[in-house]
Every structure is written in C-alpha cells, then in structure tokens.
Structure 1
Amino acid sequence: MGTIFAIGGGEIGNLETLDIDKKIVESANKTKPKALFIPTASSEPQACIDSFNYVYGEKLGCSTDVLLLLEGKTSNEQARKQIMSTDIIYVGGGNTSMMLHVWETYGVDKSLKEAYKNGKILSGLSAGAICWFKSGHSDSQSFYTKDKWDYIRVEGINFIDAMICPHYNEDTREDDFNQKILEYDEIGLALDNNSAIEFKNNFYKIHKSDLKSKAYILYHLNGRVVKEELINTAEYKSVEELLNR
C-alpha cells in the first residue's frame, strides 16, 4: 500500500509547511522523485502551480508536473497515466466537494485508489487532506456564498476510516467539528495549520512545521466528545490502536 500525508493547512508558497514537504519528498527514497500537483480544488490558478513548482521543484529537487482537469483537454486515460507515472501526488486546497465531483467525472478517484495500491505517496493540504479519508469537515459552501453558509461533512475516497478537520485552529471550526463528531458518531482527526499526519503500512506519525501547531483525535463517548492530543514522536504508532476508540 501507499503512504498518505494529510496536512492541516499553511501557505506552501511562503514555505510555512516546508519541514513537512521535506518529509514527503524524503519518503520517496529517490534522488529526483517525480511529483504531480493536482490543483482542482482551487480552480487551477497559475499562482498555485508556480508555488508548487518552486517548493517541490526548486527547493526540494523534484521533477514536477501538473494534472489539469477543468479545461476539458485531459482525457480519463491521460489523467490515469499522469497519476500512475509519478512518485508523489500532492493535492492542493480549495473547494473539496467540487474537486471530488470533477474527479469522479474523470475517474481520478479510481486512479488514485490504484496509485495507493501501487505504493505511491499521496499527500495534500486542506481539501488535499480531506480527500483521503472516509469524510471531512469542509467549508465548501463558502465558495458559493460569502454571507450565509455552514460547515458540512463531505465524503472522501476512504483510505482512512475517520472524519478529518483541517485548519482546526481557525475560525469556529473546533466547535463545529465537535458537533459533527456527535452527529455522525465517527472517529475524528483534527489538524492545526502547519501540522500533518502520515499513514504508512498501518502505522502513523505526526509531523509539524511549527512547534505550536497541534493534532488531535476526537471520539464520541457517553454523549460527549473526548479530545486527545497526538504527539509527534520519533516512533511510528499503530493506526489500529488510534482508530479503535
């Protein structure tokens, strides 16, 4: 199986997540790994592509490529070929629900499942973290209306059987995510900006690019939400023990 790095948030172009990005590249165990950027969720702006090329190309020494789906010039087979011919897949942030709908149209979700089975490194920030989980806490409604909107639960590809909340230390996400845990009775993982969780061969590890950032596990117990901080130790820990609450 592959490796997953889910990043809670941060500005990649400002090098806020650089220490985490280094770990992602190192996990490929290659001198010059291939890194594919999928910026669907942000509507594929050139600025995001340039930031990825700067960090993963110039700073971290990868050979970079980008998968563009919104222009209608990419076939399903071409999308699959790009996904299967890379070492690292990095999904950018933005509108999670829109992104997942587009992926389904192009069969990208199926290709990513194939990539995971073939040992590719799957990674991403915000929407690019949510997509790997059973479900996620999303602000997708805010992309359609700026005035009145609510956080929603979105269905992911479901490599990890949990609900994830990126940007946990922003706005009212903490309180709203707690309510989602009570409502859906799922195991929750919450990531502050500049923190990440790595899953590898049934083990996990917390990474941080800012020591003040935190990661948590939340679960429903006797009508209330229990929250426990996940510490970034040198050793990997059992995913089974993490999610068996």
Structure 2
Amino acid sequence: MKPTRRLALLGGGFSTDDDGLLDDWVLGHARGPRPKVCFAPTATGDTPAYIEQFLTAFRSRDCEPSVLRLFRRELDADALRTFLLAQDVVYVGGGSTANLLAVWRTHGVDRLLREAYDGGTLLCGISAGANCWAEGSHTDSFGPLTSLPDGLGLLPGSVCPHYDSEPGRRPSYRKAVATGTLPAGWAVDDGVGALFTDGLLTETVTRAPDAGLYRVEPDGEDDVTERAVVCRPLGGPLRGVPARRQVGPAVQ
C-alpha cells in the first residue's frame, strides 16, 4: 500500500512560542510512538543557537531529535540518504528561503526530501521552512518583500508566512497572486498549523485567538478572493476565523 504523503505549514513552534502547542500537534501526526525528528536549520546557515533551541525543546518530548547540518557536513551521499529516509518528521527552520533551496540542491537534499515525502515522512516548517514546500512563495530573502516563483513543488500553489504580523505582507502577497506573479495559495498567520495530505488541506489548527489560514486566489484584473479557513483551537472545538479579510481589492 502506498504511504500517505503529508506536510504541514507552521506559523510558530519552539522558536517563537512558549506553550509548545504546535510542536505537540506536529508530533501527534508523526508515525510511530517515539518518532525520529530531524531539524533542518539550513535557512540560517546552521546557526548553533537555533540548533540548541530545537534540541532543548525536543529532548524533553517523547521523540528522537537530530539535526541535519550541511555547512559542516559529515555524511557521505549514501549515509545522508539513509539518515533522511529514516526520519519520521523533518522540521525545517526559518531564515532565507532562497538560500535554503540553493544549499539543498547543491547537496541533493531536495531529491532526498521528495523521496522521504513519498515514503511517508511528515515534512513541516516555519517561515522559510513553510515556503520551501510550495511551487512559489512570498519572501524577504532578497531584502524587500518579493515573490519567489521557485520551490520544491510538493504543495501545489504558493505560500505566504507571517501574513498578520509583518507589515506589507498582505498587500504584497495579494498583488502577486492577482497579477499572476505567484499562483493561488495559502496565507498563514502566526500561530496557525495547516496539515496537507496528498496535496489537499485536511486539518487546520491555531494556538492564537485571532490567527487564521486564508486561501488567496485571483479574481479578475488586479483583484483576489480571500477565503478564511475554519480552524480548530488547540485544545478546543472548531471555530470560524473572523471574516475581516475575505474579499477586497488586491492593490492598495
């Protein structure tokens, strides 16, 4: 039987939140009772402090944490493949989306992650670690906010992280989708987790009262339709995300 392919977009986690709710949610979707969880800090150049933050957060959980270090690579090609395919979860950190993709391709990690995904490994991440899975993304990798029509393409469409928390994200992303610079996609508020199964959205959760996930699609010239997705508060019942952003002009 073919394994289920799953990935999750995170608007938080160990690097930004103290409650650990989104990380516990990720582990709840991992295969096996004590999952192997690999952190990929490539987007920040394997920053030691970021790595230690991950290890501190996950060593206290019922899992087997490890780190993929590419700026001080110690594994040959065969060992790297064996290591990544053995993981139950690959958790990608934030940073530069453009640099992340370039380094992964140099080391062949992009191909290995596709293989792991097809084999049932849960792929997830925050910020650049959410952007990388899609066909395109909204990023500040080059300084100003811009569109990056490049990614692994495991998730159809585009992704915009920090939709509610960083000035300029919403109008810039909406304009990119309206003009076709980026394909239709998903805008992720901080505090949200979105699970996709075989490319389809199957679960959305939130740890923050007003945080939501939005489907943004082109709708005529210089316009988009923005649909709020129903989210389940972590530890609570389903709720409707406020409709304050559902429809409006893309160019402001």
Q: Which amino acid aligns with 1:51?
A: Q
Cα distance change, pair 14–125 in 1 and its aligned pair in 2 (3 A): closer
Partner of 1:230: 229
Q: Which amino acid aligns with 2:188?
A: L
Tell me how far apart the structure 2 counterparts of residues 16 and 192 of structure 1 sit (CA, whole Å): 17
Partner of 1:240: none
Partner of 2:123: 122
8 Å Cα contact 1:38-1:68 kept in structure 2:
yes
User: Structure 1 unaligned runs (5+)?
Assistant: 143-148, 236-245
**Percent of aligned pairs with the same residue?**
27
Tell me how far apart the structure 1 counterparts of residues 138 and 59 of structure 2 sit (CA, whole Å): 31
Cα distance change, pair 11–63 in 1 and its aligned pair in 2 (3 A): closer
Partner of 2:84: 83
Q: Which amino acid aligns with 1:104?
A: R
Tell me how far apart the structure 1 counterparts of residues 24 and 207 of structure 2 sit (CA, whole Å): 10
Tell me how far apart the structure 1 counterparts of residues 94 and 149 of structure 2 sit (CA, whole Å): 14
1:37 aligns to 2:26 (yes or no)? no
Cα distance change, pair 72–86 in 1 and its aligned pair in 2 (3 A): closer
> Which has the larger share of helix?
1
Partner of 1:4: 7
Residue 214 of structure 1: how far off its partner (Å): 1.2
Tell me how far apart the structure 2 counterparts of residues 222 and 193 of structure 1 sit (CA, whole Å): 29
Residue 29 of structure 1: how far off its partner (Å): 4.1
Give the structure-2-normalised TM-score: 0.84
Secondary structure in 1 matching 2:170: helix
Cα distance change, pair 134–14 in 1 and its aligned pair in 2 (3 A): closer
Tell me how far apart the structure 1 counterparts of residues 19 and 100 of structure 2 sit (CA, whole Å): 22
Residue 200 of structure 1: how far off its partner (Å): 1.9
RMSD: 1.8
Cα distance change, pair 219–126 in 1 and its aligned pair in 2 (3 A): same
8 Å Cα contact 1:2-1:119 kept in structure 2:
yes
> More displaced, 67-76 or 220-229?
67-76
Residue 72 of structure 1: how far off its partner (Å): 4.3
8 Å Cα contact 1:79-1:106 kept in structure 2:
no
Aligned ranges for residues 1-245 of structure 1 at < 5 Å?
A: 1-8=4-11, 10=12, 12-16=14-18, 18-58=20-60, 60-142=61-143, 149-169=144-164, 170-184=166-180, 186-201=183-198, 202-223=200-221, 224-233=223-232
